[in-house]
């Protein structure tokens, strides 16, 4: 029995079934490479789900965390605050979009950031309604899963959701949902379901993560901004997956030239250490009463040290430009591949920067989702030493999230594996038909 098989058996006995896992048990990792417990090497195009934008164990991050560990690992910021937290808040205040006074709070997970942004919006407006979008993912906490625009697996079996959470259609041009249609859907929501004067916040991912890497068009985001300004609604940008240089900008909203009132971030913020943040208009962030937001582990000193190092690395290594370079390489290769005879299952290639996905369909005319082929490709790639992830409301999208520090020769190696995996999966399914 291999070490992997042994660990799988132990996992099945000891770990909750609801915690889904892949079959790769990590032993070590560095930059864009990961080795499992049996010594097999993988190129990591999942990056911990957009967490390791600076690669696994970036030396600058490791040094910053080690230096902080020599001083203290935890005091609780509420009890004995520390400079690193204040410094990171200052940096996030100055780097998020919007020419207005900002403040920041730090917590631990993306879902926590989303929950606190909703609390701030409700406290500031005195309203309770929150609007999210179809295909959205905002976390697995009670409010987070209510905001999600996908039932399985995030809402299934968990009973009643919090009240006054509503959903509108997210633009998806590949499937015929234009910005105008989405804005009309929002208008209909205001006319038929909730008075806009009761809406505290509208929350949107500028590029959907779990929803399939669908990019919100600039005109749609500008339309949302105008609606929020008209009705006094707080606009929240969920940049948990798209932020921290992933799309070629530090924050994805910058592509549209739109500033949200609040920005939630996590994942790539601390390069593998658990940390999230809400940054936004000072008067909104300050609306929560003293003690109403925060947490025992919120803004952990080791994670804060890592985050300050991440911001340094993004600037020093020009990772926004690097994301554009890597993304262009991936997109060009996938689009060329999709034009080949026999590759009609690749219905769409899309994304911003190094946040690229391709959608699999049974045929290009109907654009019917093909989740079976998608999973087959993911499995084939894993067997060949590449970690990639599925996503999308119908599970028919492959998302690619390479570390922004990935050497270009490894990007090309990964693309060779993707091409071979698509060919193999299509051939196997044809033979089985």
The phi and psi torsions of 318 (rounded to 5 degrees) equal 50, 55
How does DSSP assign 268-289, residue by residue? Answer: GGTTTS--EEEEEEHHHHTTSP
- Residue 102, SS3 per DSSP: strand
pLDDT of residue 160: 87
Instruction: Compute the distance between CA of residue 149 and CA of residue 136 in angstroms, rounded to an integer.
Output: 5
Query: Do the Cβ atoms of 201 and 118 come closer than 8 Å?
Result: yes
The pLDDT score that the predictor gives to residue 152 is: 85
Q: Read off the pLDDT of each residue in 145-158 and give the average, rounded to a whole number.
A: 90
40 CA to centre of own chain: 27
Q: Which residues pair with 397 in a beta bridge?
A: 359, 391
More confident: 162 or 386: 386
Query: Does residue 1 have a pLDDT over 90?
Result: no
Q: What are the domain boundaries of the chain? A: 3-54+318-432, 62-316
Residue range 407-416: average pLDDT? 98
Please tell me the distance from the alpha carbon of residue 6 to that of residue 23, in angstroms, as a whole number.
Answer: 11
Model confidence over 340-380: pLDDT tens digits?
999 999 999 999 999 999 999 998 999 999 999 999 999 99
Q: Is the CATH code 2.60.34.10 the one for domain 3-54+318-432?
A: no
pLDDT at 368: 96
* Structure tokens given for 307: 């985050």
Distance of CA 50 to the CA centre of its chain: 6
Binned at pLDDT 50, 70 and 90, residue 432 comes out as confident
Residue 313 pLDDT > 80, yes or no?
Answer: yes
**pLDDT for 232:** 98
How many degrees, rounded to 5, is the angle at CA 232 between CA 261 and CA 125?
80
Pairing of the two strands 346-352 and 355-360? antiparallel
For residue 414, CA distances in Å to 39, 290, 332, 404 come to 19, 49, 14, 14
- Does residue 174 contact residue 368 with C-beta atoms inside 8 Å? no
Three-state DSSP string of 63-82: HHHHHHHCCCCCCCCCCCCC
Q: Are 403 and 244 in contact (CB under 8 A)?
A: no
Q: What is the pLDDT of residue 246?
A: 98
pLDDT of res. 32: 98
Q: 50-61 pLDDT, tens per residue?
A: 999 999 999 999
Could you give the C-alpha distances from 106 to 40, 110, 279, 305, 399, in angstroms and in order?
Answer: 37, 10, 9, 13, 28
Structure tokens at 190: 């205001």
For 13, the token pair is 């006995």
Q: Which positions ≥6 away from 263 have C-beta within 8 Å?
A: 96, 97, 236, 237, 239, 243, 251, 253, 278, 279, 280
Task: Tell me the average pLDDT across 320-330.
Answer: 98
Please give the radius of gyration of the chain, using alpha carbons only, rounded to the nearest integer: 21
User: 133 in helix, strand or coil?
Assistant: strand
Residue 155 C-beta-side C-alpha neighbours within 13 Å: 16
The pLDDT value recorded for residue 433 is 72
Closest by CA position to 262, among listed 235, 283, 239, 297: 235
> Quick check: bond before 47 cis, omega within 30?
no
Predicted confidence (pLDDT) at residue 155 exceeds the cutoff of 90: no
d(CA 303, CA 307) in angstroms, rounded, equals: 6
Residue 320's pLDDT band, with cuts at 50, 70 and 90, is: very high
Averaged pLDDT for residues 295-310: 97
Q: What is the mean pLDDT of residues 189-210?
A: 97
Q: Label residue 408 by pLDDT band (50, 70, 90).
A: very high
In sequence order, what are the beta bridge partners of 356?
A: 351, 400
Helix 218-231 and helix 179-192, axial crossing angle in degrees, nearest 10: 20
**Cβ density class 133-153: b for 16+ within 10 Å, e for less:** bbbbbbbbeebbbbbbbbeee
Mean pLDDT value across the chain: 97
Chain-centroid distance of CA 356 in Å reads: 12
Considering the entire predicted model, what is its pTM?
0.97
Check: CB of residue 25 under 8 Å from CB of residue 3. Answer: yes
Q: How far is residue 252 from each of residues 30, 97, 107, 257, 366, measured CA to CA in Å?
A: 26, 10, 21, 9, 31
- Centre a 10 Å sphere on the Cβ of residue 284 and count the other Cβ atoms it contains: 22
**HSE toward the beta carbon, residue 273, CA cutoff 13 A:** 26
How many residues make up the chain in this entry?
Answer: 433
62-316: CATH topology is 3.40.640
Residue 150's pLDDT is what?
87
159 pLDDT higher than 90? no
pLDDT of residue 132: 98
Q: What share of the chain is helix, strand, coil (3-state, %, to 5)?
A: 40, 20, 40
pLDDT at 29 > cutoff 90: yes
Q: Please report the pLDDT score of residue 167 as a whole number.
A: 97
pLDDT confidence of 44, banded at 50, 70, 90?
Answer: very high
d(CA 419, CA 366): 24
């Amino acid at each position: 029995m291999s070490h992997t098989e042994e660990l799988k058996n132990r996992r099945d006995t000891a770990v909750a079934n609801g915690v889904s896992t892949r079959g790769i048990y990590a032993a070590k990792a560095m930059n864009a490479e990961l080795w499992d417990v049996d010594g097999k090497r993988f190129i990591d195009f999942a990056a911990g789900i957009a967490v390791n934008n600076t690669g696994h164990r970036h030396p600058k991050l490791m040094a910053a965390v080690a230096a902080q560990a020599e001083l203290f690992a935890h005091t609780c910021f509420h009890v004995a605050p520390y400079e690193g937290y204040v410094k990171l808040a200052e940096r996030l205040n100055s780097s998020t979009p919007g020419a207005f006074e900002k403040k920041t709070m730090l917590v631990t997970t993306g879902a926590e950031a989303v929950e606190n942004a909703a609390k701030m919006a409700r406290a500031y407006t005195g309203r309770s309604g929150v609007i999210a979008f179809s295909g959205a993912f905002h976390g697995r906490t009670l409010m987070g899963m209510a905001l999600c625009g996908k039932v399985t697996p995030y809402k299934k079996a968990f009973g009643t959701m919090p009240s006054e959470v509503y959903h509108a259609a997210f633009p998806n041009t590949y499937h015929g949902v234009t910005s105008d249609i989405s804005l009309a859907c929002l208008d209909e929501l205001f006319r038929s379901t909730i008075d806009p004067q009761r809406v505290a916040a509208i929350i949107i991912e500028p590029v959907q993560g779990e929803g399939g890497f669908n990019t919100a068009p600039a005109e749609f985001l500008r339309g949302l901004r105008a609606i929020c300004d008209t009705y006094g609604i707080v606009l929240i940008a969920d940049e948990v997956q798209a932020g921290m240089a992933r799309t070629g900008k530090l924050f994805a909203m910058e592509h549209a030239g739109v500033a949200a009132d609040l920005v939630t971030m996590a994942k790539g913020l601390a390069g593998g250490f658990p940390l999230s943040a809400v940054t936004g208009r000072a008067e909104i962030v300050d609306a929560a009463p003293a003690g109403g937001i925060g947490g025992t582990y919120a803004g952990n000193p080791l994670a804060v040290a890592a985050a300050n190092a991440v911001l340094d690395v993004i600037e020093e290594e020009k990772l926004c430009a690097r994301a554009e370079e890597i993304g262009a390489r991936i997109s060009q290769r996938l689009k060329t591949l999709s034009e080949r005879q026999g590759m009609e299952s690749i219905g769409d290639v899309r994304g911003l920067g190094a946040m690229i996905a391709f959608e699999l369909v049974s045929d290009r005319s109907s654009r019917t989702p093909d989740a079976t082929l998608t999973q087959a490709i993911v499995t084939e790639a894993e067997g060949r030493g590449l970690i990639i992830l599925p996503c999308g409301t119908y599970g028919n999208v492959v998302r690619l999230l390479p570390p922004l520090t990935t050497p270009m020769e490894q990007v090309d190696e990964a693309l060779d594996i993707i091409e071979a995996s698509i060919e193999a999966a299509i051939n196997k399914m044809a033979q089985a038909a």
